[in-house]
């Protein structure tokens, strides 16, 4: 499920919503041998580092005017891709820390997720979200720097407050709580800060109401959410496509109660029309350094580019 966007997606063949219905049955088939695919040329960004930095500065100016507190800016890059995508996308979906790792495809499109982030989970009548904000290299120095960063913590807490408000729209009164704040987790070669926010789900809340409350995810929009989406939509070079949406499953538990587990489709790739597409974003606050934000986006896409290039360094 893709997020709303006013800008056209660079991978228009990928649908806004794809659903797979699973049946419990036994089948035996034979895979047809295909030539393994990989990225075959350089990555072309949809904005230059200078344009990305200028967009960061534009967000800072919007913050100075009082329009927003934080905005998540998302960039995009694409590269020529040749051959069968499934092996490359399986590598991507299997990256360390990919809680929501998987592949979907249609007749002329493929999407893979290596997301570590929970958009919304419902189990046993409790609803949970786990926003991620704050990234550093997975080194001892990087972990210490992330823990000590007042900027990252302030940005993170703003998004946690936003998620508390989102869950409050579908929760029993007084049941919203922050179970864990600013915990450091590892995804591939990066440290990331994650919090857990949960609540008791109010009786009678259906899937449509639940998704209306939490989607699009606060960590990929900003705060206030509607104003942040409007600012990002003006500045981002292309549409977000299948990235920054939702990837997971909806079903029932053993008691017949509704059960949902949807990841936020960050760390996501699409392949269509012989091109691979990647998106990466970061939250911008008043004291964001434009050069550091450009570097952070590059760090987030680097493991995805290696996976799609067969483990080789990718330009």
Query: Both tokens of residue 226?
Result: 């509607």
Query: Domain spanning 38-308: which superfamily?
Result: Anthranilate synthase (3.60.120.10)
* 204 has pLDDT over 80: yes
Domain ranges of the chain: 38-308
Which are the catalytic amino acids?
A: 117, 133
pLDDT in tens, 231-285: 999 999 999 999 999 999 888 776 667 789 999 999 999 999 999 999 998 999 9
d(CA 119, CA 40): 33
> Chain centroid to CA 258: how far?
24
Stretch 191-210: mean pLDDT, rounded? Answer: 94
- Other C-beta atoms within 10 Å of 49: how many? 16
Report helix, strand or coil for 263.
strand
Stretch 201-210: mean pLDDT, rounded? Answer: 92
pTM: 0.88
CA angle 58, 61, 64 (to 5 degrees): 155
pLDDT at 6: 56
Please, what is the angle between helix 290-308 and helix 49-65, to 10°?
A: 130
pLDDT at 29: 46
Tell me which residue of 313, 277, 307 sits closest to 109, measured CA to CA: 277
Stretch 115-140: mean pLDDT, rounded? Answer: 94
Place of tokens 């409350």: 213
Beta strands in 21-148, from DSSP E residues, in sequence order: 38-39, 44-45, 70-82, 100-105, 109-115, 118-123, 126-130, 132-137
pLDDT in tens, 29-80: 445 446 789 999 999 999 999 999 999 999 999 999 999 999 999 999 999 9
Judge whether 28 and 76 are in contact, CB under 8 Å.
no
Lowest mean pLDDT among 10-24, 86-100, 124-138: 10-24
* 26 has pLDDT over 60: no
Confidence of residue 315 (pLDDT cuts 50, 70, 90): very low
- Helix (H), strand (E) at residue 178: strand 177-187
HSE, side-chain direction, 13 A CA sphere, residue 260: 24
* 191 has pLDDT over 50: yes
Tell me which residue of 183, 106, 189, 175 sits closest to 142, measured CA to CA: 189
Instruction: Give 205: exposed, middle or buried? Use CB within 10 Å, 0-12, 13-18, 19+.
Output: middle
* 22 has pLDDT over 70: no
- Helix (H), strand (E) at residue 308: helix 290-308
pLDDT at 23: 57
d(CA 151, CA 282): 13
> Chain centroid to CA 57: how far?
23
pLDDT at 314: 45
């Amino acid at each position: 499920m893709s997020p709303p966007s006013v800008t056209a997606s660079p991978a228009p063949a990928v649908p806004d919503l794809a659903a797979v219905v699973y049946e419990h049955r036994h089948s035996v088939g034979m895979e047809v041998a295909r030539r393994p695919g990989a990225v075959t040329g350089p990555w072309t960004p949809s904005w230059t580092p200078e344009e990305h930095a200028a967009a960061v500065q534009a967000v800072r100016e919007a913050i100075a005017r009082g329009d927003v507190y934080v905005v998540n800016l998302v960039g995009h890059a694409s590269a020529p891709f040749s051959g069968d995508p499934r092996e490359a996308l399986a590598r991507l979906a299997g990256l360390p820390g990919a809680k929501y790792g998987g592949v979907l495809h249609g007749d002329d499109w493929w999407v893979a997720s290596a997301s570590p982030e929970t958009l919304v989970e419902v189990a046993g009548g409790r609803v949970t979200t786990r926003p991620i904000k704050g990234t550093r290299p997975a080194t001892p120095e990087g972990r210490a720097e992330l823990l000590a960063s007042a900027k990252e913590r302030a940005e993170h807490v703003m998004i946690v407050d936003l998620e508390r408000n989102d869950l409050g729209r579908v929760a029993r009164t007084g049941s919203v709580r922050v179970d864990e704040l600013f915990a450091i987790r590892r995804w591939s070669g990066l440290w990331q800060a994650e919090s857990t926010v949960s609540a008791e789900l109010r009786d009678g809340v259906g899937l449509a109401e639940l998704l209306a409350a939490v989607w699009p995810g606060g960590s990929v929009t900003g705060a206030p959410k509607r104003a942040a989406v409007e600012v990002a939509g003006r500045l981002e070079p292309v549409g977000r496509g299948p990235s920054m949406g939702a990837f997971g499953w909806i079903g029932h538990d053993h008691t017949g109660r509704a059960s949902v587990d949807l990841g936020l489709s960050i760390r996501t790739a699409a392949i269509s029309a012989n091109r691979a597409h990647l998106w990466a974003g970061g939250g911008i606050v008043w004291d964001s350094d434009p050069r550091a934000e450009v570097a952070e986006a590059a760090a987030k896409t680097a493991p995805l580019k290696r996976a799609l290039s067969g483990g080789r360094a990718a330009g």
